[in-house]
Amino acid sequence: MKLPKIPGGQMRQLMEQAQKMMEEAQRFEEEMDALQVQASAGGGVVKATVNGKGLLISLEIAPEVIDPSDPEMLQDLVVSAVREAQNQAENIRAERMQKLTGGLGGLGDLGLPF
């Protein structure tokens, strides 16, 4: 299979577009690192905060919910709060990614870093 030749001016334009896309992808990743999403469970007795990539940043547990005779309840609340925060972060990430890519589908399949 022979690839078409690209004239010098078009090649330069393609390289500039590629550079711009790489810079935008880098900014996007930095924004996702800085973004903080919080969710709670049990009426706010457990609060989980994740970054835009869904990584847990902090976890707050109200002292009154700590019951040594019922650790399962606390475990369930923690899991619920973390999952909700991760889901919210994923939704925000997907929405912003769609804006960044102009709604182009399948970019994740190309192995791009976002």
| pLDDT value for 5 | 66
Tell me whether residue 43 is in a domain: yes
Give me the CATH number covering residue 35.
Answer: 3.30.1310.10
Can you tell me the mean pLDDT for 69-80?
Answer: 97
Q: What is the mean pLDDT of the chain?
A: 86
Poorest-pLDDT segment among 17-21, 35-39, 74-78, 86-90: 17-21
- Please give the Cα distance from 38 to 57 (Å, whole number): 10
Q: Is the pTM of this model over 0.75?
A: no
- Please give the Cα distance from 32 to 20 (Å, whole number): 18
Tell me whether residue 36 is in a domain: yes
> For 9-36, what is each residue's pLDDT tens digit?
788 888 888 898 889 889 999 999 999 9
Biggest alpha carbon–alpha carbon distance for the chain: 74
Whole domain around residue 69: which residue ranges?
29-104
On the question of pLDDT at 108 being above 50, the answer is no
Tell me whether residue 11 is in a domain: no
Interacting residues of 16 by C-beta distance below 8 A, sequence separation 6+: none
Instruction: Decide: 114 and 25 in contact? Cβ < 8 Å.
Output: yes
Domain count, the chain: 1
